[in-house]
Amino acid sequence: MPKPTYETALIVGAGSGLSASLARLLAGEGLRVALAARNSEKLAPLCAETGAKAFACEATDPGHVAHFVIDGAIRNPGRVEPPDRPDSMLDPDAIAASYLHVLQQPRSAWTWEVELRPWVERF
């Protein structure tokens, strides 16, 4: 069964962590990437690296996001790793790889959610 194909992706709430990992991975997969953030100027280095386009956007205002025409969107609020627990957060590159697997899943057997956990977690 063929996998879905995408040409563009929008990352809303883009920054230097998971968003940057996603932008690098998706651009590497051949997608055109748009990055939206309150301060789009801070995205210039990532745009230069990935070929992405940056847009100023207030993610809490639906009118700011509604004008984008895209195949897929990723809403990405920022997260900060607690300094007293350095291994308690997931690696942004690993999260991006998991997102890509979900994006490329076959239509005949798909999921819309994935539970990702840090390796240090004890069950």
The residue extents of the domains of the chain are: 8-78+85-103
The CATH superfamily of 8-78+85-103 is NAD(P)-binding Rossmann-like Domain (3.40.50.720)
- For residues 81 and 66, the model is more confident at 66
What pLDDT, on a 0 to 100 scale, did the predictor assign at position 33?
A: 93
Cβ–Cβ < 8 Å for 11, 70:
no
pLDDT at 78 over 60: no
Question: pTM, whole model, 2 decimals?
Answer: 0.69
H or E stretch covering 114: none
- With cut-offs at 50, 70 and 90, classify the pLDDT of residue 48: very high
The CA-atom distances, in angstroms, between 68 and each of 8, 9, 36, 63, 94 are 11, 10, 10, 10, 27
Once rounded to an integer, what is the mean pLDDT over residues 87-99?
81
DSSP for residue 99? H
Question: How does the average pLDDT of the chain come out, rounded?
Answer: 80
